[in-house]
Chain A
Amino acid sequence: MSLELKGIEKKIGEETHIYSTDLKFEKNTINVLLGSTLAGKTTLMQIMAGLDKPTKGEIWFNDQNVTGVKVQKRNVSMVYQQFINYPNFTVKQNIASPLKITGIDNQEIDQRVSKVADLLKLTPMLDKKPNELSGGQQQRTALARALVKDSDLILLDEPLANLDFKLREELREELPKLFKDRDCIVVYATTEPSDALLIGGYTATLLEGKVIQHGKTLEVYNKPNNLDSAKVFSDPPMNIANINKKGEICSLLADNVTWKTNLNLRDGNYKVGIRPHNITTYKEGKNSIEISGKVLISELSGSESMIHFTNGDLNWVSLSEGIHQKDVGEETKLFMNSDEFLYFDNNDRLVGNV
């Protein structure tokens, strides 16, 4: 079983929403579509589901061309960011609806509904209407409806985006387990890099209607093939600085910070990408480099401290574990873990990571 997009393109009027895209999703995999809003995630999913037709290109499922096949004829499920349930049905009827329509006998429907309801902790709410439930429970109902039939393809379009933080964390941990033993392809769209890392599987990074990179999630994270992919897969945004390499020594162009590298690169100017959590108030790794700066903003989120500071003419973002309060305008010293640096050439292609 596999889903293959061959040269898919989508134009609405003169505007191109999806540029020519080739993607292949394999059986029993979870695939994350990672990109900011308007990157084309939803459009791509609607094309995969058959809700929308591509302007160009073909969709192949199990080595069959399904490009023009109606959504009702494809065995897919979809969960949206908004909590979409049938308001006139009870939770039980909602979950049962995809089975009812196929004409499965009632006994089996009951069995399968109660199994899925159990899995998603909905059993006590089965006789309620969706609008009597909390947001989390409504989304669970939608998930249950997507899981109750044996879909070949399950599409999740930012399913956690409208939930509050705590519920999101809770459901996010459950999600990968739900799909573990299923014979299907899961596609999960999200704007959050942390979602992709937690879910694992495969990730495709998207930017402005183009797929930049597709591969195993950790590989995409550790070896982004270019700067755009690295930017998409970094939240808070990645720090990017121009550097000069001469022999073993790299130095920031804007400041006199230098460090040693054993990268096999020609001398010249490069760009370095540093994820915020690799700049910390404490030393980390064997090759940490000191950088000084003036604090712009210092904020706490949970048990992490985010410190924005200026160095040279650049604004930097750092993310440290623990509570580290800094005053605005304060001169401060931070440490960069140079083992985690990503080096890009002037065409923004990845040339090295240590």
Chain B
Amino acid sequence: MKKFKWLVPTIYIIFLMLPIYWLLNMSFKTTTEIINTYTLWPQEFTLDNYKKIFTDSTWYTGYLNSIYYVVLNTFISVAAALPAAYAFSRYKFLGDKHLFFWLLTNRMAPPAVFALPFFQFYSSVNLFDTHVAVALSHCLFNIPLAVWILEGFMSSVPKELDETAYVDGYSFWKFFFKIFIPTITAGIGITMFFCFMFSWVELLLAKTLTAVAAKPIAATMTRTASTSGYELGLLAAAGSLTIVPGAIVIYFVRNYIAKGFALGRV
């Protein structure tokens, strides 16, 4: 029995990695090879797919657009959620618990519900096809999430810390920026990660609210056929590259995430 200890984790990892391997595999093949033959690794190894993405502006601007609105959204969400979460964790006010729960219910409606009103609204205020429009629309689900996560971290900081700072002579704002925010950096890191992730993978709103100028990479990728026919290799390369930012972010916050799970709010 002991001899086969490695077996289960190995199978698990193989199953997990299989789709990613297949994607990478495809991205180094030519479209002809993908369609016509079944090969476990590229017979005709090519980097043309990647070259095309990095040189053709219709492709790489997709990435830039996505990164632009995702980063913008992450900052808006965290900036808005910090004071809100502080209020929820430190003050009692009329309906605070209901309001806190109501924040979560925002996550219960599928984004598709909001696609039409958002499209109409952003068009009428001339924000259609801008990065700001997508960043703001993603606040719909990211701000409640950020408030929810941050509130957990803030509540784990005893309110006596605030009081000690006031007793020592700190004003509220000095305390908030010099002591409180550094105390919950792990929480802010996790919150940013989740905002980044949800905004990065969201497709429907991003696609609805953009046309050309702010078109996200995922929208570019869903265009399976072009004038030159099916470009499966190219799409696979684009897909592989789309995984990269998420992987980078995960690498940086992996230690914080464990802490977040321990707190039970992630």
- The answer to whether A and B assemble together is yes
Interface string of B98-112 (1 = CB under 8 A from A): 000000000000000
Q: Is the CB of A84 within 8 A of B183?
A: no
**Stretch touching chain B among A70-78, A190-198, A268-276, A318-326:** A70-78
A49–B165 alpha-carbon span in the complex (Å): 12
How many chain B residues touch A (CB < 8 A): the figure is: 17
What are the 5 A-B residue pairs with the smallest beta carbon separation, nearest first? A88-B182, A98-B168, A101-B169, A78-B167, A80-B160
Instruction: Say whether B160 contacts A145, CB under 8 Å.
Output: no
B182 touches A76 (CB 8 A): no
Pair A72/B163 contact, Cβ less than 8 Å: no
**A87: which B residues are within 8 A, CB to CB?**
182-183
CB distance from B113 to the nearest CB of A (A): 40
A window 60-117: CB within 8 A of B: 71-72, 76-78, 80, 82, 84, 86-89, 97-98, 101-102
Q: Chain B 157-200 against A: per-residue CB contact (8 Å), 1 yes, 0 no?
A: 01011011111111100100001001101000000000000000
**Residue A51 lies at the interface, judged by CB distance under 8 Å to chain B:** yes
Contact B168–A84 (Cβ < 8 Å): no
CB neighbours of B163 from chain A (8 A): 46, 49, 51, 71, 78, 80
Subset of 7 A-B contacts with CB under 8 Å: A49-B167, A78-B164, A78-B167, A80-B160, A80-B163, A86-B165, A98-B168
Output the nearest chain A residue to B179 by Cβ-Cβ distance. Answer: A86
| Residues of chain A with a CB closer than 8 A to B166's CB | 51, 71-72
B171:A72 contact, CB within 8 angstroms: yes
Please, what's the 1-or-0 string for A179-218, where 1 marks a CB less than 8 Å from any CB in chain B?
A: 0000000000000000000000000000000000000000
What is the chain B residue whose CB lies nearest that of A146? B167
The answer, among A49, A71, A80, A88, for a CB contact under 8 Å with B183, is A88
Contacts of A71 in B (CB 8 A): 163, 166-167
Cβ A101 vs Cβ B170 within 8 A = yes
Does the CB pair B169–A102 fall under 8 Å? Answer: yes
The B122-170 residues at the A interface (CB cut-off 8 A) are 158, 160-161, 163-170
CA distance A72 to B168 in the complex (A): 7
Q: Nearest Cβ distance between residue A190 and chain B, in whole angstroms? A: 17
Determine the residue in chain A with the shortest Cβ distance to B166.
A71
CB-based contact A77/B167 at 8 Å: yes
- Nearest Cβ distance between residue A123 and chain B, in whole angstroms? 21
Distance, CA A97 to CA B168, complexed state (A): 7
The smallest beta-carbon distance between B188 and chain A, in angstroms, is 13
Q: How far is the CA of A49 from the CA of B171 in the complex (A)?
A: 15
Among B161, B168, B183, which residue has its beta carbon within 8 angstroms of that of A145?
B168
| Complex alpha-carbon distance, A214 and B163, angstroms | 27
Say yes or no: A82-B158 contact (C-beta < 8 A), given A51-B163, A88-B179, A88-B183. Answer: yes
From residue A96, how far is it (CB to closest CB) to chain B in Å? 10
> What is the bound-complex CA distance between A256 and B171, given in angstroms?
67
The CB with the most chain B CB atoms within 10 A, among A46, A51, A86, is that of: A86
- Give the shortest distance, in Å, between B13 (CB) and chain A (any CB): 36
Measured between beta carbons, the chain A residues less than 8 angstroms from B185 are 88
- A51-B169 CB under 8 A given contacts A80-B160, A84-B158: no
